[in-house]
Amino acid sequence: MSKILTEVLRANRNYRSDFDKADLPMPPGRQFAILTCMDARLDPAKYAGLAEGDAHVIRNAGGRASDDAIRSLVISYKLLGTREWFVIHHTDCGMETFTSEIMTELLNSSLKTASVDADGWHDCCEGPGSTEGKYINWLTIKDQAISVTEDVIRIKSHPLVPSDIPVYGYIYDVKTGGLIEVPTATEAGQAT
């Protein structure tokens, strides 16, 4: 068992040992959702003050309003009753450090094409590369205020999103822990 797996299971035993959240209902108690980045430095429960049971948290590379994030938000609204949403990108995001072309080239030059041996998963790590990266939109970011605004507008404009849901746009500052409003996005997000 790897060191990480051992540590995660040990931490989970500690969490479980004094767990007192068995009776929380499925719908988020505070009826809101946050879409934010997967970045390791971000802890939405801490930076936005969430306890278990409070709010849906959707995270991907960049905190982007991908089709999958829209899927999650529509389920969040329609089946589980959230009525306000936040889009929170952040400073010093990895998504600013590359372009789709760079990612495609990296993958083309060094990442293994998947292969499975007769006896199971192939255990080699790097190979001749794969051109599959060309077929993925990596949703990179050039400017956080623009990406937040674009994502709020995309969510608000989506045919499956009710137009009366406020969508607040913010940037999390990894140097201060603070949330900075993106006014254009937030104005677009507030119901008129």
120-121 and 116-117: which strand pairing? antiparallel
Question: Which SS3 state, helix, strand or coil, does residue 53 take?
Answer: coil
Across 49-72, b (16+ Cβ under 10 Å) vs e yields ebeeebbbbbbbbbbbbbeebbeb
Spatial distance between the Cα atoms of 136 and 103, rounded to a whole number of angstroms: 10
What is the pattern of x (binds its own copies, CB under 8 A) and - over residues 167-186?
-x-----xxxxxx-------
Q: Does 159 bind its own copies (CB under 8 A)?
A: yes
What is the pattern of x (binds its own copies, CB under 8 A) and - over residues 124-143?
xxx---x-xx--xxxx----
What tokens appear for 101 in the block? Answer: 């072309």
Q: Which of 128, 160, 183, 185 binds its own copies (CB under 8 A)?
A: 160
Query: Between 128 and 143, whose beta carbon lies closer to its own copies?
Result: 128
Report the nearest approach of its own copies to the CB of residue 146 (Å).
Answer: 20
Query: Between 106 and 143, whose beta carbon lies closer to its own copies?
Result: 106
Binding to its own copies (CB under 8 A) within 18-77 occurs at 19, 21-22, 24, 26-33, 38-43, 45-50, 52-61, 66-72, 74-76
Contacts of 143 (CB under 8 A, 6+ apart): none
Q: Is 124 annotated as a binding residue?
A: no
What is the pattern of x (binds its own copies, CB under 8 A) and - over residues 66-85?
xxxxxxx-xxx-xxx---x-
179-181 and 167-172: which strand pairing? antiparallel
Q: Which of 6, 99, 101, 157 binds its own copies (CB under 8 A)?
A: 157
40: exposed, middle or buried (C-beta count within 10 Å: 0-12, 13-18, 19+)?
exposed
Inter-residue contact 178 to 184 (CB < 8 Å) = no
Query: Between 97 and 101, whose beta carbon lies closer to its own copies?
Result: 97
Q: Is 37 annotated as a binding residue?
A: yes
* Binding site feature residues: 37, 39, 90, 93
